[in-house]
Amino acid sequence: MRFLRYFAAMLLAFGSPICPVHAQTQPAASHWITLGTQGGPIPVPKRSQPANVLLTGDGAYLVDAGDGAAEQLAKAGVPLAQLKAVVISHLHFDHTAGLLGILGLRYQTNIYTPLTIYGPPGTKQLVDGLLAAMLPTAKSGYGMPGSPYVDPGQGIEVVELRDGANFRLGAARVVAAKNTHYSFAPGSDDDRAFESLSYRFELPDRVIVYSGDTGPSDKFQAIARDADLLVVEMIDVERTLQEIRRTSPNLPEPAAKALETHLRTHHLTGEDVGKLAGLAHAKAVVVTHLSAPEATGDVLVEYLRQIGAHYPGPVVIARDLEEF
């Protein structure tokens, strides 16, 4: 068994099309596509920022909207008109920067069908700001006198969520759980004002759980229980810190120390992912949100070894535009 797991890891790490998470006895009615798998804030040429799309029989649902989300949807063959909702895990730029592109392109292509944007506290302020930023273009139109003005907020609804929220996306029941990507003192003003959420999507054919960004979290582990597909972030702290030092050599020392604390406490290592997946009895794991430089060969094998030390099931280190 160990040999088979190691052999599968080697095949995956070196680019084999064989993927145990993708293999199913019957095709799933729902599809999860990892549109962007690169954690921020440093852009890279081969991966887009965090974004996913959930496809069901009744529509498409964008889950996080990092920079490049609209382009990645086009590459995945998902028309903007098919998009019924956006679900935001938290308000960091690498998970929201692509939302303006989504709203702007809908507006430019005359898509006014309802679009609901779900997210934690602060999402309405974010969306209101993006819609305000669209006003100069909306009012000037194509520069033709007498052009009709259409409100860029037409059809847009925002629903703010908190820990324990339940809502529906078509046939899917969704449960939100507050995770540990923030560590504000419980009950403080900041704790009430800001939340980072993980989501459980209970679909007719399977359960998909998405971590968003989080550190080790009992609440996230609880909603991940018995997931058919666990889509979870992972960070390589040392390689990420090396890249930050390379790209930001003048970063002030206090800021560097705060960033390192954030990376070590508010994210999941490979070992954390394996322990969480094992305790949750997840059936399969998809790893995303890699902040370090592009990992290949031995580095990928090491990630799989770290996870596999605590979790016996199939694991994929996802790339952009992979479908599960």
pLDDT digit string (tens) for 261-281? Answer: 999 999 999 999 999 999 999
Q: How far apart are CA 139 and CA 264, in angstroms?
A: 46
289: left (phi over 0), alpha (psi -120 to 50) or beta: left
**Mean pLDDT for the stretch of residues 294-315:** 94
- Using an 8 Å Cβ cutoff, are 179 and 199 in contact? no
> Which residues does 68 contact at the CB level (< 8 Å), separation at least 6?
35, 36, 48, 49, 51, 98, 101
CATH code for the domain in which residue 195 is found = 3.60.15.10
The pLDDT, as a whole number, for residue 244 is 87
- Using an 8 Å Cβ cutoff, are 73 and 80 in contact? yes
Q: How far apart are CA 229 and CA 160, in angstroms?
A: 25
Terminal alpha carbon distance of the chain: 24
**Mean pLDDT for the stretch of residues 72-99:** 98
The pLDDT, as a whole number, for residue 15 is 39
> Which residues does 275 contact at the CB level (< 8 Å), separation at least 6?
216, 310, 311
The pLDDT, as a whole number, for residue 142 is 84
Q: Phi, psi at residue 209, to the nearest 5°?
A: -120, 130
Residue 9 in this model has a pLDDT that exceeds 60? no
- Using an 8 Å Cβ cutoff, are 52 and 64 in contact? yes
Mean pLDDT of the chain: 91
Is residue 13 very low, low, confident or very high in pLDDT (cuts 50, 70, 90)? very low
Summarize pLDDT for 157-196 with one digit per residue, the tens. Answer: 999 999 999 999 999 999 999 999 999 999 999 999 999 9
State which residues form the domain around 274: 2-323
The pLDDT, as a whole number, for residue 8 is 44
The pLDDT, as a whole number, for residue 22 is 55
Residue 291 in this model has a pLDDT that exceeds 90? no
Pairing of strands 172-178, 31-36: unpaired
Count the domains in the chain. Answer: 1
Percent of the chain residues topping a pLDDT of 70: 92
- For the chain, the maximum distance between any two Cα atoms, rounded to a whole number of angstroms, is 72
Summarize pLDDT for 122-157 with one digit per residue, the tens. Answer: 999 999 999 999 999 999 988 888 888 999 999 999
More confident residue, 186 or 19: 186
Which pair of tokens denotes residue 108?
Answer: 């430019």
